[in-house]
């Protein structure tokens, strides 16, 4: 009877998950507007011209243009379309209906105009006629489905309902204090997953990305040729190939089923979401349990999960198309296996070798993973419970394993291609990004300036782009992006909250170095080599963009850990206020992520 009830219980969960997935997939399809072709005439070209590009770029010298665009929509279509004309949208006709709206004519190439067109749109083929006027410069037209389309939002809400039911089912019988803490941990994990799903739902692939088209070019090359390109042949081709092999494989499969380019790019974004969610859950649950294994440390595990759930730069990976997403996945696995091995003090060597394999796979994804390779070997050297002869033998086997997994790529790049740089495109970066390598640039850290100007600007001196640690600190929350005046106060509040917590992280680090070295050594090494490696990279590539926290995102795990151990090391009377500040930061970050949209 119990077995039947358990099977039925699991079956209901699987059914609810399937329903949530269907609703989410439907919401995703709402935004997939695929432009088939555009026929246009201009004042300079009276003979009709044809393009399948989108956005649509018109020939130089265009002042007047008439465009007829064929596009397709899925079986659930939106009710809103947003247009960005350069310069003026004079009139619209959709599926033989003349559109009359107070929003037309519209002249603003810096901001989208949203028009309700649901009654004229239809599943399948649609035809849009546009009269465009240009006052000089580039003449372009782009249109898409806005993230806040009511149909899409309704489907997302429907997708959340089954997940809420599952959560309620598993927590309704919890009554004790410890069980209530488990509920809070479940809330943190569920909230982290939903924040990532929401972030992807409202973030087009070009928003808050880095060299997106360069990464897409690499993916499409792998999908078409299934071979590693020469590093010099593309902007991002110098990267190791693993991420591009995996995404390129799906790209090729999707293309064979007739999926268009925009849909395939959306699929790659979906892969990023899946990887981001898995990485977050592994870090919050598995690593959280390894760092705080005692039953009395449930509060610590909950705060650790809550920080990872809402930390903005950690969530940004959910919608990003680049190899950082897969690198972070391998890095979290590598750290987890290292902690498993260290916890057993070398009695089980298999997790140590798994750690080496994960770092090797990370190295085949992006060269940043090399920063983690000293950690397992230093831990091996420091393991006093094992004889030196055995440590040396295991270390040699680890080196051999790493070389066997990654050496072929190093030989290909540096031996066959005669490639001379791990990061090839730094020689072609905009020289306006260059910063100096003075001692002051690495020692200046002004909290008042950070709070007054919360956003980085790689080109603007007033934003503090020259100061490494200021740039790194701000980019940990907001990257290199400006989120507008509407979020200025909240962004400054987040940074102020984080500044208050910095000394507590220092307390945790001091305790680790003085009295907990044998316990905390792996996390100390991860933090040391990730931040130290980032400093070295900034010196060798002195550009403002080289200071972005995404290059050392893995340091978030030890930073969160040492914040919690620092709070725990404080006098009892200070612990509760410190926890309040930490959870306040979590709430501020959640509010920020819930409100930004595709800004």
Report d(CA 168, CA 553) in Å as an integer: 33
Report d(CA 262, CA 257) in Å as an integer: 14
Q: Where do we find the tokens 């050594």?
A: 521
444-477: buried (b, 16+ CB within 10 Å) or exposed (e) per residue? Answer: ebeeebbeebbbbbbeeeebbbbbbbbbbbbbbb
Would you mind telling me the total number of residues written for the chain in this entry? 599
Shortest CA distance to 366 belongs to which of 554, 168, 119, 140?
554
DSSP, collapsed to helix, strand or coil, labels residue 44 as: coil
CA distances from 314 to 59, 62, 551, 558, 562 (A): 41, 44, 12, 14, 18
Can you give the pLDDT at residue 124?
86
- For 456, list phi and psi in degrees, rounded to 5: -80, 150
Terminal-residue alpha carbon distance, the chain: 54
Q: What is the pLDDT along the chain (599 residues), one digit of tens a residue?
A: 555 666 676 678 778 878 887 887 787 778 777 788 889 888 877 788 888 777 888 888 888 999 999 988 878 888 999 898 887 999 999 998 998 888 888 888 777 788 999 899 988 899 999 999 988 788 888 888 887 788 888 887 888 788 777 767 665 554 444 555 677 788 888 889 888 988 888 788 888 888 888 999 999 999 988 888 888 888 888 889 999 999 999 999 988 887 777 778 888 998 999 999 999 999 999 999 999 998 888 889 999 999 999 999 999 999 899 999 999 999 999 999 999 999 887 778 899 999 999 999 999 999 999 999 999 999 999 988 888 888 899 999 999 999 999 999 888 888 787 765 666 556 667 778 888 888 999 999 999 999 989 998 888 888 888 899 999 999 999 988 888 777 888 899 999 999 999 999 999 999 999 988 888 999 999 999 999 999 999 988 888 888 999 999 999 999 999 999 999 999 988 888 998 899 889 988 988 887 776 55
Beta strand 124-133 pairing with 49-51: unpaired
Report d(CA 304, CA 312) in Å as an integer: 15
Report d(CA 471, CA 255) in Å as an integer: 41
Shortest CA distance to 519 belongs to which of 300, 385, 345?
345
Report d(CA 252, CA 264) in Å as an integer: 9
Can you give the pLDDT at residue 178?
52
Can you give the pLDDT at residue 174?
44
Left, alpha or beta for 457 (phi > 0: left; psi -120 to 50: alpha)?
Answer: beta
Can you give the pLDDT at residue 175?
43
Can you give the pLDDT at residue 261?
79
Report d(CA 375, CA 377) in Å as an integer: 6
Shortest CA distance to 595 belongs to which of 30, 156, 202?
202
Can you give the pLDDT at residue 249?
93
Mention every residue, 6+ apart, whose C-beta is less than 8 A from residue 199. Answer: 315, 316, 318, 319, 593
Can you give the pLDDT at residue 130?
93
Output the CA angle 260-279-19, nearest 5 degrees.
60
Residues 495, 469 contacting (CB under 8 angstroms): no
Residues 337, 221 contacting (CB under 8 angstroms): no
Residues 512, 523 contacting (CB under 8 angstroms): yes
Can you give the pLDDT at residue 421?
63
Question: Is the pTM above the cut of 0.85?
Answer: no
CA distances from 508 to 12, 342, 471, 516 (A): 44, 19, 23, 10
Output the CA angle 493-496-497, nearest 5 degrees.
85
């Amino acid at each position: 009877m119990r077995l039947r009830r358990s099977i039925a219980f699991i079956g209901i969960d699987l059914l609810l998950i399937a329903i949530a997935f269907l609703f989410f997939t439907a919401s995703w399809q709402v935004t997939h507007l695929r432009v088939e072709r555009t026929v246009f005439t201009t004042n300079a070209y009276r003979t009709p011209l044809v393009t399948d590009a989108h956005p649509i770029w018109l020939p130089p010298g265009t002042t007047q243009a008439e465009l007829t665009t064929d596009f397709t929509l899925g079986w659930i279509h939106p009710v809103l379309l947003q247009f960005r004309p350069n310069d003026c949208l004079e009139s619209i006709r959709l599926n033989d209906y003349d559109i009359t709206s107070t929003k037309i004519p519209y002249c603003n190439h810096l901001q989208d105009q949203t028009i309700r067109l649901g009654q004229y749109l239809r599943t399948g083929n649609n035809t849009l006629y546009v009269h465009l006027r240009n006052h000089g410069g580039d003449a372009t037209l782009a249109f898409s489905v806005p993230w806040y389309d009511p149909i899409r939002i309704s489907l997302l809400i429907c997708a959340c309902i089954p997940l809420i039911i599952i959560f309620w089912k598993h927590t309704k019988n919890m009554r004790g204090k410890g069980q209530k803490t488990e509920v809070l941990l479940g809330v943190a994990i569920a909230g982290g997953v939903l924040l990532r799903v929401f972030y992807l739902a409202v973030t087009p692939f070009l928003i808050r990305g880095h060299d997106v088209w360069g990464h897409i070019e690499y993916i499409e090359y792998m999908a078409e040729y299934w071979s590693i390109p020469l590093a010099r042949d593309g902007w991002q081709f110098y990267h190791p190939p693993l991420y591009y092999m995996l995404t390129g494989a799906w790209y090729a499969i999707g293309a064979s089923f007739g999926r268009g380019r925009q849909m395939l790019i959306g699929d790659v974004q979906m892969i990023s979401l899946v990887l981001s969610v898995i990485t977050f859950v592994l870090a919050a649950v598995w690593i959280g349990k390894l760092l705080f294994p005692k039953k009395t440390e449930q509060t610590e595990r909950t705060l650790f999960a809550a920080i990872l759930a809402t930390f903005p730069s950690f969530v940004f990976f959910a919608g990003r198309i680049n190899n950082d997403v897969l690198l972070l996945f391998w890095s979290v696995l590598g750290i987890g296996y290292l902690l498993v091995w260290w916890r057993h003090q070398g009695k089980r060597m298999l997790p140590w070798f798994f750690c080496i394999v994960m770092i090797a796979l990370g190295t085949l994804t992006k060269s940043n993973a090399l920063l983690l390779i000293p950690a397992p070997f230093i831990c091996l050297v420091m393991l006093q419970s094992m004889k030196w002869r055995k440590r040396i033998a295991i270390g040699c086997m680890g080196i051999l394993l790493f070389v066997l997994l990654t050496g072929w790529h190093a030989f290909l790049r540096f031996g066959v291609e005669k490639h001379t740089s791990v990061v090839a495109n730094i020689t072609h970066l905009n020289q306006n990004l260059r910063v100096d390598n003075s001692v002051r640039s690495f020692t200046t850290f002004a909290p008042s300036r950070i709070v007054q100007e919360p956003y980085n600007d790689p080109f603007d001196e007033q934003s503090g782009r020259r100061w490494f640690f200021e740039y790194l600190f701000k980019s940990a929350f907001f990257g290199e992006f400006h989120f507008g005046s509407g979020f200025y106060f909240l962004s400054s509040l987040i940074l102020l909250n984080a500044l208050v917590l910095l000394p507590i992280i220092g307390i945790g680090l001091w305790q680790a170095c003085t009295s907990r070295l044998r316990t905390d050594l792996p996390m100390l090494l991860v933090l040391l080599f990730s931040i130290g490696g980032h400093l070295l990279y900034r010196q060798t590539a002195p550009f403002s963009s080289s200071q972005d926290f995404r290059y050392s995102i893995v340091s978030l795990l030890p930073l969160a850990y040492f914040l919690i151990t620092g709070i725990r090391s404080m006098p009892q009377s200070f612990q509760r206020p410190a926890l309040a500040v930490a959870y306040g930061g979590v709430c501020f970050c959640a509010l920020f992520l819930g409100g930004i949209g595709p800004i």
